[in-house]
Amino acid sequence: MANLNRVFLIGNLTRDPEIRYLPTGKAVADLNMAINRRYRTAAGEDKEETCFVSVVVWGRQAETAGEYLKKGSTIMVEGSLRYEQWEANGEKRSRLRVSGDRVQFLDRLKRPVEPGAPAEEKPRAAASPAAAPEPAAPAEEKEDDDNLPF
């Protein structure tokens, strides 16, 4: 029988991404997501439960996540489940975590602001009417578009 290890998750970050770099220079980002599930019980009562998921992304995905994401950002992650084991303070530890292959930002994209960068420019005032050139010939009359079906 064939196996499949693929997950798609949509949720919100519970904290800002944690970015670090390996000695090779490759970026790694740890993302922590909260995914809500709403359902109705057999008794008709509305319930909500939250699942907290740890995600790791690598390379350019990690760098981009660090630039644009913050606590509360809504994202979609596509990846696979990884079982990790280690020992800390003589105690065996383990966890199931998502290795993200693709992260899609679902909030409006906000460009990072660099310190000392000027604020967005205000629209410039239009040139005075005296400076505008006069039309050489009258504009052609356009057909009435009111009868078009779209």
pLDDT tens-digit map of 76-101: 999 999 999 999 999 999 999 999 99
137, part of any domain: no
Could you tell me how many residues make up the chain? 150
147, part of any domain: no
Distance of CA 14 to the CA centre of its chain: 13
- The answer on pLDDT for 103 being more than 60 is yes
149, part of any domain: no
133, part of any domain: no
Burial class for 15, CB neighbours closer than 10 Å (0-12, 13-18, 19+): exposed
144, part of any domain: no
Name the nearest CA neighbour of 53 among 20, 25, 19, 14.
14
With a threshold of 0.85, does the pTM exceed it? no
Confidence at residue 108, expressed as pLDDT on a 0 to 100 scale: 72
Which residues share a beta bridge with 12? Answer: 34, 74
Element (H, E) at 118: none
72, part of any domain: yes
Question: How far is Cα 99 from Cα 97, in angstroms, rounded to an integer?
Answer: 7
Q: What's the domain count of the chain?
A: 1
Query: Which domain covers residue 35, as residue numbers?
Result: 7-108
45, part of any domain: yes
Q: What's the pLDDT tens digit per position in 10-68?
A: 999 999 999 999 999 999 999 999 999 999 999 999 999 999 999 999 999 999 999 99
131, part of any domain: no
Q: What CATH number should be reported for the domain holding residue 11? A: 2.40.50.140
Question: How far is Cα 117 from Cα 111, in angstroms, rounded to an integer?
Answer: 12
